[in-house]
Amino acid sequence: MSNFTIRGAAKPDLDRLIELEAHSFESDRLSRRSFRHLLGRGHAVFRVAMRGRGIVGYYILLFRAGSPAGRLYSLAVHQSARGAGLANALLADAERLARRKRRHVLRLEVREDNLPAIRLYERLGYQPIGRRAHYYADRTHALRYEKHLGARGDIRASDSEEDRSPRDDDALSPQMTGRREAVALRPKTVLVPLRGGARPAAEDDAVSAATPRRA
């Protein structure tokens, strides 16, 4: 990880983020408008991973006032940076910032056919808490996971309003449905999607293909 640095995203990053999004996701992509919207929202934490001057990964966390939970909305790692532990580093950074914001649990959705991403999340301590039918644009189901970060208070995994997706926000692109898990290894939320005949990706690769929206 000595070749990578993680910092806050900024508007000058938009062109490179759009390129990474197109590289990482075949559908459920965040638009330029959606990226710009999330960059300016106080309830969102948007961080990018740099290698030299290039952006090779990012994640987005969402928070709701009064909720003890944070949501990993999207996570992506460029193919050229996979296998180097960057997905793990991005998740560790996200968990650290969620704790700093006094959130005691982190939640995400992941495509149920994204086995590398699922293995990654489970290896890092995320536990299954439910399923959302036809969550993605191609109607693939999503599995819901959460990780307790030193939990205190009443954590209600069944509280769907608490985890409301930004896709319900009309400021986001109408084409964008769920988000993923594209850490290819969404992520909408970022992991390598498994297609028929495709070679299973390494666990670290799971993070960038599509975290819906993510994770």
Average pLDDT (35-54) is 92
Task: Determine whether domain 5-211 maps to CATH 3.40.630.30.
Answer: yes
Distance from C-alpha of 204 to C-alpha of 89, rounded to nearest angstrom: 10
Residue whose C-alpha is closest to residue 23's, from 83, 102, 101, 76: 76
CB 110 within 8 A of CB 74: no
Instruction: Report the mean per-residue pLDDT for the chain.
Output: 77
Distance from C-alpha of 128 to C-alpha of 205, rounded to nearest angstrom: 20
CA angle 151, 101, 170 (to 5 degrees): 105
Domain borders along the chain are 5-211
Q: Is the pLDDT of residue 151 over 60?
A: no
Distance from C-alpha of 207 to C-alpha of 215, rounded to nearest angstrom: 8
**Residue pLDDT, tens place only, 59-94:** 999 999 889 999 999 999 998 888 889 999 999 999
Q: 20-34, 40-54, 155-169: lowest mean pLDDT where?
A: 155-169
Q: Of how many residues is the chain composed?
A: 215
Question: What is the value of pTM for the model shown?
Answer: 0.74
DSSP state of 214: B
